[in-house]
Amino acid sequence: MSLDLSDVTLTYPDGDDRLTALDHVTLHVPRGTLTAVAGPSGSGKSSLLAVAATLVTPDAGTVSVDGVTTTGLSRAELTGLRRRTIGIVFQQPHLLPSLTALEQLQLMASIDGRSPAGARGRALELLAAVGLADRAGRRPHQLSGGQRQRVGIARALMNEPTLLLVDEPTSALDHERGAAVVDLITRLTRERGTATVLVTHDRTHLRAADRIVEVDDGRLGDPPSGSGTSVGYRPQGGVTATMSG
Amino acid sequence: MFVAWRDLRFAKGRFALMGAVITLITLLVGLLSALSAGLARQNISAITGLPADRIAFAAPGPGRSPSYGDSTVTARQWRRWAEVPGVTRAEPLGITSTKATAGDRSAPVSAFGVRAGSRLAPDGGAIHDRTAVLSAAAAAGLGGLAPGDTFALAGRRLTVAAVAGDASFSHTPVIWTALSTWASVAPPGAAGTAAGPDAGATATVIALDTTAGADVAAADRAIGTRTVTKDGSLSAIGSYASENGSLQLMRGFLFAISALVVGAFFTVWTIQRAGDIAVLKALGASTAHLLKDALGQAAALLVVGTLLGTGIAAALGALVVPDTVPFLLTPATVLAPAAVMILLGALGAALSVRRITSVDPLTALGSAR
């Protein structure tokens, strides 16, 4: 098991009151599977991702990543856990403008205290895996939107994470490129054995998921009927998932 | 420094502009420092070069500070100082500004009167009633006088016993004379009017060599003097205090401006990079790693800009500035300001990049960051 949210509640201050972003959420995501999180805007999808990414500490409940319970860890320890265990693909690629595609990946080795030069081989292998072997020397402004997003995916995998968190990766892409990116994430999840959580508002991408969970008003529930996707999890993924709330 | 170096190359226009500003400020500080040091040398080298550790002035009036221009000490006072326990040597020193003439050349000089054989003057053993030791600048200013040549000091004819040292005082070269010669060329107020066996035997100050056991304060009270350290006595040179104060104020402002400019640049740069910093933090970069990267970038820019400015200042001083301008190029005048520039610039950068610590990685999630 790589991600384990257990009875997690998260609230934000909202004037004199508190807004409940996640309401007693329980979610288990095993390695090698892709769990899609769908839901309307403001439903709590991003809050779920932020909690899983250890960027926000929940008010209640426990979060466990790769067997490590994050409750009580210091900020530095959480940063280290994120660096070594969690890969994040952002809604926008958020690539650094001064770095080439290859360097965007080598950067991950640098922030982990390893030699960027020593990580060159893995970076090139990952760029090849996302189909950008011939774009290694290009900077973000020299790449298309889809290519930038693929560099972002490769960057997220650079430190061999066990948990891959993907935040609406197709929102800035047309349908064809969006589908290609989701297919890529699905393939990499299988190949590299990551526990992948894909937040998306585009229901056409849900068919790639092993498991689909619907977030509504901070609670997890079954996906709506007629979504064109299977409910629950696919047998071939071997997924165990629990929804509550 | 992985990102820092690449940012420097990628945004080279912005960093070149900032580097040019640092270079120009360093150039200005370097030139000002060398000029300040040159002017200071012209003002104080005769005092700083004295083989003494303290200077005793005539006690000034209440609320007043000692002054080389106002002080007059008597032979009785320097004899009493010589007997104070812990004082190994007490030498009278007369100082006055006057004019020296040799042929058709004349020059303003400072006449320093010492006892015959005094260690205060270079070649002090050669100084008698009718001889004098000239500093190199004094000899040159009088047409290149050499030992054996004669000249007039305030109308009194003297023979050059030796040309030695480069002492100057209050922007005029020093001529070392006998105390009696000094007394004859100094204004009546400066030379005093002591009566009895000490008649005419006065000086401006007493140069002291002391040990740790000397009770200077008690001796001052008993003898009627005010004693300060040799370095502390420099503020008693009126022209030095005002001139050096103004130049140091200008230099201080330049240092402050430099720190502010560097700080402002890196503040804007850090704000512009806030989104990237949030992403890096979300990806697992520690705050220490990001601070090290940002400060390394600032240090690289400061070092390159400062070295360029210092190099240009040194080259200008060595090749362009005419000999008539007092311009002193030494490691202290060239490298010390550069080090201060780097330190203060780094401080300004550190204060500005500290906002890295407050960037929330959570802002990297979502479409608007």
Whether A106 and B2 lie within 8 Å, measured CB to CB = yes
In chain A, where the domains are located: 3-89+146-237
Residue found under tokens 């906002």: B355
Instruction: Specify the pLDDT at position A202.
Output: 77
CA distance A91 to chain B (A): 6
CA distance A3 to A8: 13
Ranges of H-type helices in A40-100:
45-52, 75-85
Instruction: Say how far apart CA B190 and CA B204 lie, in whole Å.
Output: 7
A79 and B284 within 8 Å at the Cβ level: the answer is: yes
In sequence order, what are the beta bridge partners of B105? B102
- Alpha carbons B4 and B6: distance in angstroms, whole number: 5
CB of B26 closer than 8 Å to CB of B338: yes
Size of interface A-B (CB pairs under 8 A): 86
Burial class (CB in 10 A: 0-12, 13-18, 19+), A100: buried
Share of chain B above pLDDT 70, in %: 95
Token duo for residue A178: 């969006």
Burial-class residue B337 by CB neighbours within 10 Å (0-12, 13-18, 19+).
buried
Give one word for B27, left, alpha or beta, with left for phi > 0 and alpha for psi -120 to 50: alpha
Residues of A in contact with B359 (CB under 8 A): none
Report yes or no: B358 at the A interface, CB cutoff 8 Å. no
The structural domains of chain B, with segments of one domain joined by +, span: 2-43+240-362, 51-229
Q: Give the span between the Cα atoms of B92 and B124, in whole angstroms.
A: 13
Answer with the residue of higher pLDDT: B226 or B116: B226
Is the torsion defined by CA of B151, B153, B158, B162 positive or negative?
negative
Q: What is the mean pLDDT of residues A140-165?
A: 91
Residue A230 pLDDT = 35
d(CA A135, CA B62): 83
Nearest to A96 among B3, B9, B286 (CB): B3
Strands B73-74 and B87-102: unpaired
- Produce one character per residue of B155-194: b if its CB has 16 or more CB atoms within 10 Å, e if not: ebebebbbbbbbbbbbbbbbbbbbbbbbbbbbeeebbbeb
pLDDT at A42 over 50: yes
Kindly determine whether residue B364 and residue A79, on different chains, have CB atoms separated by under 8 Å.
no
Average pLDDT, integer, range B318-328: 78
B325 touching A (Cβ < 8 Å): no
pLDDT at A241: 40
- Six-digit token pair at B94? 């007369």
How many other C-beta atoms can be found within 10 angstroms of the C-beta atom of residue A160?
13
SS3 B87: strand
The answer to whether B233 touches B47, Cβ cutoff 8 Å, is: yes
Residue showing tokens 């807004």: A19
Percent of chain B, pLDDT > 90? 51
Under DSSP, is residue B348 helix (H, G, I), strand (E, B) or coil? helix
Residue B19: its H or E element: helix B12-48
Average pLDDT over residues B361-366: 81
Confidence of residue B134 (pLDDT cuts 50, 70, 90): very high
CB contact under 8 A, B289 and A111: yes
B115 Cβ neighbours under 8 A, 6+ residues apart? B91, B92, B178, B179
Greatest alpha-carbon span in chain A:
54
Q: Across-strand partners of B156? A: B153
Phi-psi region of B184 (alpha: psi -120 to 50; beta: other; left: phi over 0): alpha
The contact set of A with B (CB < 8 A) is 46, 49-50, 53, 55-56, 76, 79-80, 82-84, 86, 88, 90-92, 94, 96-99, 103, 106-108, 110-112, 116, 139, 155, 159, 167-168, 171
Question: pLDDT digits over B72-81, tens only?
Answer: 999 999 999 9
Distance CA(A119)–CA(A106), nearest Å, equals 6
CATH number for the domain whose boundaries are A3-89+146-237: 3.40.50.300
Determine the length of chain A. 245
Q: Tell me how far apart the alpha carbons of residues A156 and A194 are, in angstroms, rounded to a whole number.
A: 11
The Cα of B356 is separated from the nearest Cα of chain A by a number of Å equal to 15
| B53 burial via Cβ count (<10 Å: 0-12, 13-18, 19+) | middle
Average pLDDT over every residue of B150-169:
93
**Residue A15 φ then ψ, to 5°:** 65, -130
pLDDT in tens, A95-137: 999 999 999 999 999 999 899 999 999 999 889 888 888 999 9
Contacts of B367 in chain A (CB under 8 A): 91-92, 168, 171
Minimal C-alpha gap between A231 and chain B (Å): 27
**Least Cα separation, residue A229 to chain B (angstroms):** 25
Who's near B275: CB < 8 A, 6+ residues apart? Answer: A94, B363, B364, B369
Query: What's the token pair of residue B157?
Result: 């004819």
Mean of pLDDT values over A7-18? 88
Please report where in the chains the tokens 């002492």 appear, as a residue: B167
Asked whether the beta carbons of residue A88 and residue B283 sit closer than 8 angstroms, the reply is yes
Q: Average pLDDT in the A139-148 region? A: 92
Contact of B310 with B338, CB cutoff 8 Å: yes
CA A98 to mean position of chain CA atoms: 25
Residue A225 reports pLDDT greater than 60: no
SS3 at position B98: strand
